[in-house]
Structure 1
Amino acid sequence: MIASIFSKSKPINFIIVFFITLLAFLLANLEDINKPIQLSNVLYLMVLFLASYISILMLDFIVSKNKLTQNNNYEILLYALFLVAIPLSLSSGNIIISNLFVLFGLRRLISLRTQKSMNKKLFDAAFWFAIAALFYFWSILFFVLILFTLLMYTDNKIKHWVIPFIGIATVFILAVSFSVLYYNNFFEVFKSLPITNLDFSTHNNLPFIIALTMLLSFGAWSSVFYIGEIKNKKKSFRPSFKIILFMVITSFAIVVLAPEKNGSEFLFLFSPLAIIITNYIETMEVNWFKDVFLAILVLVPFVLLFL
């Protein structure tokens, strides 16, 4: 039943995902919602929810445009379910905005497979990753994806290696200029600093452990099949699938390095993980097993709400 609903890309799927995302967002921001109603607070929450949902639409666009999955909507369903499983992933406004800009950068980076407008795409990818870093410093690690992509394409043109750094420099100059004009200070705008924290004790609660176990076990199992299937993809598409795999590794590094271990740091992990698990679901030939697999992913997040 579940598999058949999302097996094709349909408008109803986006409506379902919209309400699942709304539920996760409300759960993550209960404290703000319970505050006395103020227009500024309402607008702030609306902007964050809009950014959260646009991230899902951007994920679908990246996937469909670059044929990272077949013609279905499993990836957006999984992404929304991950949000419900770990609702605190939507508790940080900075990370929500940063994640959206990371997806903007990923869109430009994966489109390099066409080998057209390389200069512009490399600049755009670095530009968006740098803006993401203004909101959450450790998202700058996604800049490594650009270098990884250039290595895969064995690109020996010096200008292609220099352009991404120009993209970062551009954002830095714009940010400093804004800081001087608005704060009368050169570096006031750089509030996200390279702080680390390796204390995971805040995650020591049953619902979070169950959600994380489900996420990592399903992700790890699917990754084994995902890696094996890359060689069966068309040669021009293989780098795109490798970028998604490397993005998972980078996102996991951010989870480890995150200065605040409150669950919001896992948001970066959801997009690439949803793509990888969707690819595994597509390899399932037995319908009942596919339904059971998806049923677990659907039921567990909602059951955790009552723990």
Structure 2
Amino acid sequence: MITSIFNKSKSINFIIVFFIAFLAFIIAKKSVANEAVSFGFIVKQIGVLFIIYASILLLNFILSKNSLTKKNNYEMLLFSLFLLFITQTTSYTNVIVSNFFVLLGLRRIISLQSQKNVKKKLFDASSWIAIAALFYFWSFLFFALILIALILYADNNIRHWIIPFLGVLTVFAISVSASILLYDNYFELIDTSFQISYDFTNYNSTKYLVAITLLLSFGVWSSIFYLKNIKKKKKVSRASFKIIIIAAIIAFLIVIHVPTKNGSEFLFLFAPLAIIITNYIEVIQEKWFKEVFFSILIITPFILLLL
């Protein structure tokens, strides 16, 4: 019953998804309730919410354009539910903006499977990820995804291997120039917070423990079937499915290594995790199990709001 609602792309699905994302956003704003509400503050919050919505739509576009899932809206619903699982992911503007640019980069990386306009796509992908790193340093780890994509697509053109570095260098040069002009400082616009921390005490709460445990357990379980089913995909699209699982691993490494663990770092994991779990839901044969599996993901975040 529940799965049938999102089994096909419908306008009502977008309304539900946007409402859940908005709910997560509003709940997260409780922590800034004491801030002075001004016109600038309201405009900024509307802008951040718009970027969250744009990220959801971009995720949907990536999947529909590259046939990474069937024609449904499961991935959008899962992404919005993940936001509700860990509402802190909607609280930090720099992470939200960074994740949006990472998705733009991911879109270009996956589109390499067509083998058309490869140079432009590589430059775009590296540029988007470099821009993402300007807002959140650790998102630069996704640059490795470009090089891995070249390996998966068996690209032996040496020029193609150089282009991603040129894209990063271009963004770096523009950032340094802008920093000098605006702030009389070379690296004012560049996030140089290269620090590592393995202190997970911030996750030591019931909400975090339940949310993280459920997301990781469902993610790992779905990944097992996801990897098995890659062999059944068309040969031309297998690399794209592998890129998604690698993106999830990179996002997990970000969660592990970031110095400030405030919950926002999980945002990078949501898109690949939504794709992986969506693929698993699509192959579940037992209708009752599919309903239970999906229902747990839907009901749990609302229960956590009461804790």
Q: Which TM-score bucket, shorter chain as reference?
A: over 0.9
Where has structure 1 moved over 3 Å in runs of 4 or more?
Answer: none
Equivalent position SS for 2:75 = helix
Equivalent position SS for 1:233 = coil
Q: 1:240 corresponds to which letter in structure 2? A: S
Distance in 2 (alpha carbons) for counterparts of 1:34 and 1:104: 34
Residue of structure 2 equivalent to 1:50? 50
Residue of structure 1 equivalent to 2:264? 264
For residues 67-102 of structure 1, what are the alpha-carbon distances to aligned partners after superposition, in whole Å with 9 as ceiling and x for unaligned?
000010000100110110111111211000000000
Residue of structure 1 equivalent to 2:76? 76
Q: 1:75 corresponds to which letter in structure 2? A: E
Distance in 2 (alpha carbons) for counterparts of 1:30 and 1:124: 37
On the 8 A contact 1:89/1:265 being kept in 2, the answer is yes
> CA shift at 1:289, angstroms?
1.4
Distance in 2 (alpha carbons) for counterparts of 1:176 and 1:151: 31
The within-5 A match list for 1:223-302 is 223-302=223-302
Distance in 2 (alpha carbons) for counterparts of 1:76 and 1:51: 14
Distance in 2 (alpha carbons) for counterparts of 1:292 and 1:237: 30
> CA shift at 1:33, angstroms?
4.3
Distance in 1 (alpha carbons) for counterparts of 2:106 and 2:176: 25
Distance in 2 (alpha carbons) for counterparts of 1:297 and 1:192: 37
Distance in 2 (alpha carbons) for counterparts of 1:33 and 1:285: 46
Distance in 2 (alpha carbons) for counterparts of 1:195 and 1:27: 30
The Cα RMSD (Å) is: 0.9
Is 2:111 aligned against 1:111?
Answer: yes
Is 2:60 aligned against 1:60?
Answer: yes
Distance in 1 (alpha carbons) for counterparts of 2:227 and 2:261: 29
> CA shift at 1:21, angstroms?
0.1
Residue of structure 2 equivalent to 1:306? 306
Question: Identity over the aligned pairs, expressed in percent?
Answer: 55
Q: 2:118 corresponds to which letter in structure 1? A: M
Distance in 2 (alpha carbons) for counterparts of 1:227 and 1:101: 26
Distance in 1 (alpha carbons) for counterparts of 2:103 and 2:269: 11
Residue of structure 1 equivalent to 2:156? 156
On the 8 A contact 1:135/1:192 being kept in 2, the answer is no
Residue of structure 2 equivalent to 1:133? 133
On the 8 A contact 2:99/2:267 being kept in 1, the answer is yes
On the 8 A contact 2:81/2:297 being kept in 1, the answer is yes
Distance in 2 (alpha carbons) for counterparts of 1:69 and 1:261: 31
Q: 1:159 corresponds to which letter in structure 2? A: R
> CA shift at 1:186, angstroms?
1.2
> CA shift at 1:283, angstroms?
0.5
For residues 80-128 of structure 1, what are the alpha-carbon distances to aligned partners after superposition, in whole Å with 9 as ceiling and x for unaligned?
1011011111121100000000000000000000000000000000000
On the 8 A contact 1:110/1:240 being kept in 2, the answer is yes
Give the TM-score taking structure 2 as reference length: 0.98
Distance in 2 (alpha carbons) for counterparts of 1:204 and 1:165: 40
Q: 2:261 corresponds to which letter in structure 1? A: K
Distance in 2 (alpha carbons) for counterparts of 1:68 and 1:34: 43
On the 8 A contact 1:136/1:192 being kept in 2, the answer is no
Q: 2:50 corresponds to which letter in structure 1? A: L
Residue of structure 1 equivalent to 2:17? 17
Q: 2:140 corresponds to which letter in structure 1? A: I
> CA shift at 1:32, angstroms?
2.8
On the 8 A contact 2:133/2:191 being kept in 1, the answer is no
Mean Cα deviation higher: 278-287 or 109-118:
278-287
How many aligned positions are there? 307
The within-5 A match list for 1:167-182 is 167-182=167-182
Distance in 1 (alpha carbons) for counterparts of 2:95 and 2:199: 19
For residues 183-218 of structure 1, what are the alpha-carbon distances to aligned partners after superposition, in whole Å with 9 as ceiling and x for unaligned?
111111123421111100010001110011110000
Equivalent position SS for 1:29 = helix
On the 8 A contact 1:137/1:194 being kept in 2, the answer is yes
